[in-house]
Structure 1
Amino acid sequence: MANLKEIRSRITSVGSTMQITSAMKMVSAAKLKRAQDAVTQLRPYANKLRDILSNISSTLDASAGGELTVQREVKKLLLVVVTSNRGLAGAFNSNIIKKANAIISESKDRGIDISVLSIGKKGHDLLRKQATVYKNSSSIWDNLSFDEIALISEEITEKFASGEFDQVRIVYNQFKNAATQIVMDEQYLPVQIQTENVESTSSSVDYIFEPSKEKIVTDLIPQTLKTQLYKALLDSNAAEHGARMTAMHKATDNADALRKELVLQYNKERQAAITNEILEIVGGAEALDA
C-alpha cells in the first residue's frame, strides 16, 4: 500500500502543477494580445519614420546627420541586451544569452573593449560574469513606457557622442508569432544614413524643405533612435509572452499525459493488490477446509 500512496501523491502533485501551468498560459495569452497590439501599431510609424529619414538623407552626405552618423574605429562597444525579468519562457532568454556571448567572445578576440547594458534580470545575472555591466536597466519592465525608454536612449546617445563608446548594438527577440521569435542583432549607433537611390515616384517630385534637409535629418535622428529602441522592447515584450504561453501550453500537455500514465499505473497496482488479497483469502479458506 505504501507504493499506492506514493503514486497517489504524485498524481496530486502533477495535477497541482498542471493547474499552475494552465493558469500561467491563460495570463500570458491575455498579456500577449495587448503586447502584440502595441508592437503592430508602432511598426508602421517606425517604418515610415525610417523611410522619411532615408528619402531625405539620400541626397546628402553621410556626415549630414552630425556626430551620431560618424563611423569610427570600434575600440569600445556597448551591447544592449534585452531579456526578461522572469523565466519559464522556453528558449526565449537562452537564445539571447547565446547570441550575446558570441558577440562578447568575438569582440574580445578582436581586442575590443565591450560593455553591456542589460535590460532584464535574466541577462544581467548571466552576462555580468562574461563582461563589464555598464548599467542594469531591468526595472524598465515594471513600467514599460516611451518616456522611460527615451531617457535610456538619450543617455546612450550622449555617451556615444562624447566618445565613451564607438559603437552601440542591440540584441533582442523580434516577435513574429506566438510560437516564433527571431533573435535580432541591430546596430543602434552610429546611425547608418541610407544613400541608395529612392523610388522614382518620390524622386520625381521636387520638394521645398523648410527648414533645410540637414536640419530635418539632425532632428529626425534622435526621434528615430528613441522609436527604434522602444520598438525593440515592445517586440521583446510580445515575444516573451508568446514564448511563455507556448512553453506553458506544452508543460500543461506534458503534465496531463504524465497524470494519465500515473492514473493507469495506480489502477494496475491497485488491481494487483486486490487480486493478491483475494488469492490470500481463497488460499486461507482452502487451508481451513483441508
Structure 2
Amino acid sequence: MSHLSSPLVSIIVAVFNGAKTLQQCIDSVAQQTYINIELIIIDGGSTDGTVDLLKANQENISYWVSEPDKGIYNAWNKGLTQVKGEWICFLGADDFLWDAQVIELISQQLEKIPSSIRVAYGKIMLLDNDAEPLHLVGDSWGKVQERFKQMMCIPHQGVMHRLSLFDCHGKFDESFRIAGDYELLMRELKTADAAFLLNVVVAGMRQGGISSNPKESLVLLHELRRAQSMHGLPLGRFWVFALVKVYIRLILWKVLGEKLTRKLLDVGRRGMGLQPYWTQT
C-alpha cells in the first residue's frame, strides 16, 4: 500500500555519545510499515563510535550532522531547519518507536485531525534498566488539560507536532536545560487543545537519570515554574505537591541512603496499587 499521498512525518533525533542505543532507534524508524517518513539525526560531536554508526546507516537517514552543540534543544532546533514533514516527532538516542506499525496507526488519526489542532500525542512505555516494560504513561487531554498548566503531564516522546506550530510560535527556547519541550508546548496549549491519539503506544523510553534523581527533579521543577511564569500562570497545587515529594525524597536519600529509599518508595507505590518503579530504574 502506498502512503505517498499521506502526511510526511519527520522524526528528529538528538544524540551525543549514544552508540549503545542509537541503532535500536534508527531500526525502529527504518522498519515502519508507513514509508512516508524522514529521519533526521543531529549528533553533538560524539567520540564513542556514534559517527561510524551514522555512516553505516546512511541509507535509512534523510539527513545527519555531527558537530558540537549546546544541548538537546539546540540539536532539535538544528533538526527543524531540515524538516519537510507536516508532522514532527522528537526523540533522544535512548528512545525508539514502539512497533513497526505505530506511524501507520498515527497517520490514520492525524489525517482526521482539524488543521486548528497543532499538537497530537499518544502513550509511551517506560522501560526499566534492562529495557523491559514498566508501565504506560499518557492520559487523554480531557484528564490532563488543567494539570498541564502546572506539570509536564504529556509524554514528549509521544507527541506529534504540526509544522505550523513552529511557524506560529518559533523554536525551542535553548535557555532551558530540561523543560524546553514543556515551555514550547505551553505556548500553544495554554489556550488551545491537543488531540489524544487513541490506542497508540508511540515510543519506548528508558528510565534513569533525571527521572529518578531528586536533585535533577528539582532542576526540572524550577524550570517548569519558570516556563509557567513566562506565560503568566500562577503557582499551582500540583507543582507544590511535586516539590514537597522531591524534598522528601532528598531527605530520605540523605538519611537512609539511595538503595533503601528506593525500596521504601516502592513499598508506598504498592500500597497505592501501583507497580514498582524506583527499584527498577
**What TM-score do the two structures reach when normalised by structure 2?**
0.31
Q: Which is greater in Rg?
A: 1
Tell me which protein shows more helix as a share of its residues: 1
Of structures 1 and 2, the one scoring higher in RCO (CA 8 A, sep 6+) is: 1
